[in-house]
Chain A
Amino acid sequence: MTPVQPTAKAQPLDVKRIREDFPILREQVHGKPLVYLDSTASAQKPRQVIDTLAFVYEHAYANVHRGIHYLSETATQMYEDARRKVARFINARSPREIVYVRNTTEGINLVAYAWGLPNLKPGDEVLITEMEHHSNIVPWQLVCQMTGATLRWVPITPEGFLDMEALDRLLTERTRIFAFTAMSNVLGTINPVKELVARAHAVEALVLVDGAQSVPHLPVDVQDLDCDFLAFSGHKMCGPSGIGVLYGKRELLEAMPPFLGGGEMIRQVKLTGSTWNDLPHKFEAGTPAIAEAIALGAAVDYLSNLGMDNVAAHERALVRYAYERMQDVEGLRILGPGPEHRGGVIAFTLGDVHPHDIAAILDAEGIAIRAGHHCAQPVHDRYGIPASARASFYVYNTEEEVDVLVTALHKVVETFAF
């Protein structure tokens, strides 16, 4: 595995100024300053995104693609501008390749059903990996059950990487689609997406990338990666919940039947049958999350202004610092690879203390972390543990917050005195 290469052009983030953009970071929790280390579950929102939501509802709200009146035209314009921003953010060829969905989960389900149901048959194989979030496992299990296709998975090595030798054996001419995460939400492992795409394409398999963790934290260029589909959520990238994106190559989306039927997705409806609207509207049945989509555009602007190379460099530095500091805590075991191979996520166990007990003690110190299986039970099974605690970092986190975390972890050790 080659370490993730820092880019020369990265500039340090002005974190003090960034923190001023996030009103929630001024909150006190149990009388202590909030230390928010749960951005992998959901990120906090900058003033620019909150203001955009309020602006839409106060000045520019109506249904989109429906009315002739001024407000409907204004809302439609803003809604489509946001789509163009998202397309530029991931370097899609066209905004038509950007389908608004609710979240990563819905994006993956859209592909599993609209592509999988008509294309998969007995003898075909769907390949996933052992490090997937449940949202990139369960839809494929369901669609394999319906079509008779077989689900296979790439195992993880003890160090927390995908087993590339096993991949060579598992990726065959029977493989119709390879669906994998760009970055594990538990191990933090950043997968070699471009290489995996190339290997899958060599056997003519399609590729779906779960970008829930990569798009908010790393520069992503879909043309460079050459992935066929990429799904991600707005709420993990400083945007609102309820809005997410499925990117798909135009020719693939054109060939797929609709996922959900209803208003907006049709060209013509007769009681005897209907024809479908153009992309991306074919996949956007019903009134969408209008203000949320527009505010996702504001989140994209916010991250673009920071620069995704700088965001990635900031998190890399923070995770390296945290990784080293956490080694001092007695009995603490970090899951996954060293800091040079991971994004801003550190999942860990501490002696035999239940992760919910760790999280509760940290909560009393004002620290928010995730505890449990993080919707990735197979990863935990792989390492023989039922659950873990997880600290994750974003643009607004500081080394001082890591220090608060480490001090609190020492308190957990004292409380349980092992």
Chain B
Amino acid sequence: MHDLYAEEIIDHYRYPRNKGSMEKPDLVYHDSNPFCGDEVTIMLKVEDGRVVDVKWQGHGCTISQASASMLSEEIKGKTLEELRHWGKEEVLDLLGIPLGPVRIKCALLPLKALKAAAWGITTWPHEEEEEEGKGTV
């Protein structure tokens, strides 16, 4: 079986976790990736700087949708401060698959939407790393 389509990725794609909508989210952001036509809207409830609920909506390729599903599970309970420094590495760890320069954008789209929702950061997560001189994977 091809790495990209590991069972867990397909499982999240077919049975997305936390997909749905939320009444009056504290933070919400919609973003898209023109390459695959991926769309993700992320909605958060935040109490005392901590993510207490996450919902997301979207459509697109398996990588983007599985990434949104996995990210939504992972960030619940974490503080925004903890998430602020998340980048390419954290998302790749979560997905557990190698990704080339093109499909990495599909994987990073949900995190990009999260960062825009929380801090108005609209660059791709790994671009920030490059700018901050952390280097790239």
Contact = CB atoms under 8 A, between A and B. Distances in A.
Nearest to B37: A386
A360 B103 contact: yes
Contact of B36 (A353, A354, A416): A354
A256 interface: no
Interface stretch (B2-10, B44-52, B72-80): B2-10
Contacts of A361: 2, 4-5
Interface string B97-133: 0000001001000000000000000000000000000
A415 B5 contact: yes
Contact of B37 (A360, A364, A387): A387
B10 A354 contact: no
B62 interface: yes
A53 to B, nearest CB: 28
A414 to B, nearest CB: 9
A256 B83 CA distance: 61
Contacts of B61: 354, 356-357
A360 B100 CA distance: 11
Interface residues of A, number: 12
Contact of B2 (A354, A356, A360, A387): A360
Contact of A356 (B1, B10, B14, B36): B36
B9 to A, nearest CB: 10
A354 B14 CA distance: 12
Interface in B1-52: 1-5, 10, 14, 35-37
A11 B1 CA distance: 42
Nearest to B36: A356
Contacts of A386: 37
B103 A416 contact: no
Contact of B62 (A354, A364, A387): A354
Contacts of B103: 356, 360
B58 interface: no
Given A354-B60, A354-B61, A387-B37, A360 B10 contact: no
A367 to B, nearest CB: 12
A383 to B, nearest CB: 15
Contacts of A353: 62
Contacts of A416: 10, 14
B30 to A, nearest CB: 17
A415 B1 contact: yes
A54 to B, nearest CB: 30
Interface string A346-378: 000000011011001100100000001000000
B2 A364 contact: yes
Contacts of A364: 2-4
A252 B129 CA distance: 55
Contacts of B63: 357
A90 to B, nearest CB: 35
A366 to B, nearest CB: 12
Nearest to A354: B61
Nearest to A362: B2
A51 to B, nearest CB: 32
A360 B5 CA distance: 9
Given A387-B37, A416-B10, A357 B62 contact: yes
A353 B62 CA distance: 8
A387 B36 CA distance: 9
17 contacts: A354-B60, A356-B106, A357-B5, A357-B61, A357-B62, A357-B63, A360-B4, A360-B5, A360-B103, A361-B4, A364-B2, A364-B3, A386-B37, A415-B2, A415-B10, A416-B10, A416-B14
Interface of A: 353-354, 356-357, 360-361, 364, 372, 386-387, 415-416
Given A356-B61, A386-B37, 18 more contacts: A353-B62, A356-B36, A357-B62, A360-B2, A360-B4, A360-B5, A360-B103, A361-B4, A364-B2, A364-B3, A364-B4, A372-B35, A372-B36, A387-B37, A415-B1, A415-B2, A415-B10, A416-B14
Interface of B: 1-5, 10, 14, 35-37, 60-63, 103, 106
